[in-house]
Amino acid sequence: MESKEIKQALQHEAWRTLRIMSEFVDATDTLVRIGPGVAVFGSARTPRDRAEYLKAVECGGLLAKHKFAVITGGGPGIMEAANKGCLEAQGTSVGLNISLPFEQKPNGYQSVELTFRYFFVRKVMFVKHASGFVIFPGGFGTLDELFEALTLIQTLKIVPFPVVLIGKAFWEPLLQWMRTTLACEFETISPEDFEIFHVTDDVAEAVTLIHEVFTGVRTWAKRLPRFASDPPVAQEEGIRSGIHPRRHLQGDATLWMDNIE
């Protein structure tokens, strides 16, 4: 028989799934109403007198003028700056706040404010409701969002959208390591993987690029491979379907394409 402690633990885990579901439902119900949005990432520790902060304010304003909602993590630093620029330009300024024991204090420039308990739910919302990512210098969280987006685009789990890195001096050492170690020495990424992001010091260039891709003036990541019979458009549930890793071994893979979960 199960002990009382085990039963209580199982019940707790079951109710946790409902809390997770409630975050997905609440956030989705809110964000589907905001229209096209662009997620802006960067350090919560960036002071207001730094050039990066001022550029993020400019970025938020330009995105608002192009009719994009600005979606940030809702905290201070770069997030505050982008929300500030958007709100001052009378745009829709969205903050996806996270409950943390330190650092994360909601900034005062959010016209739409959500709070998450779970990081992974919040990350899904960034990707699902963004037409592009603008990524300023930041720490572990910023890098996490960057490589999450690049992985999903590289593996065709989402329709490719522009990922723009702001600040060549900050990003170049990482990019150099990616070129020499990942691409050349170990061959763990391909040359075309460098086409799924763009680096610039000019936020106006970043916003223009995202706007042109969104409006169809230019395409993004043209050399990415495609799954067989996989059209370059979003599938149901916002993901791109492909060949199931086990089902295609049981017969004709194309038979499973139409019924993939």
Angle at 68 between CA 165 and CA 221, to 5 degrees: 45
Question: For residue 232, what pLDDT is reported?
Answer: 56
Question: For residue 234, what pLDDT is reported?
Answer: 54
Question: For residue 15, what pLDDT is reported?
Answer: 85
Regions of the chain where pLDDT drops below 50: 1, 252-261
pTM value is: 0.88
Cα gap 228→254, rounded to integer Å: 8
CATH topology of domain 4-225: Rossmann fold (3.40.50)
Question: For residue 249, what pLDDT is reported?
Answer: 56
In a 10 Å sphere around its CB, with 0-12 CB exposed, 13-18 middle and 19+ buried, how is residue 102 labelled? exposed
Of 56, 59, 36, the closest CA to residue 216 belongs to 36
How many Å separate Cα 217 from the centre of its chain?
Answer: 22
* Range list for CATH 3.40.50.450 in the chain: 4-225
Question: For residue 159, what pLDDT is reported?
Answer: 87
Question: For residue 223, what pLDDT is reported?
Answer: 86
Question: For residue 254, what pLDDT is reported?
Answer: 47
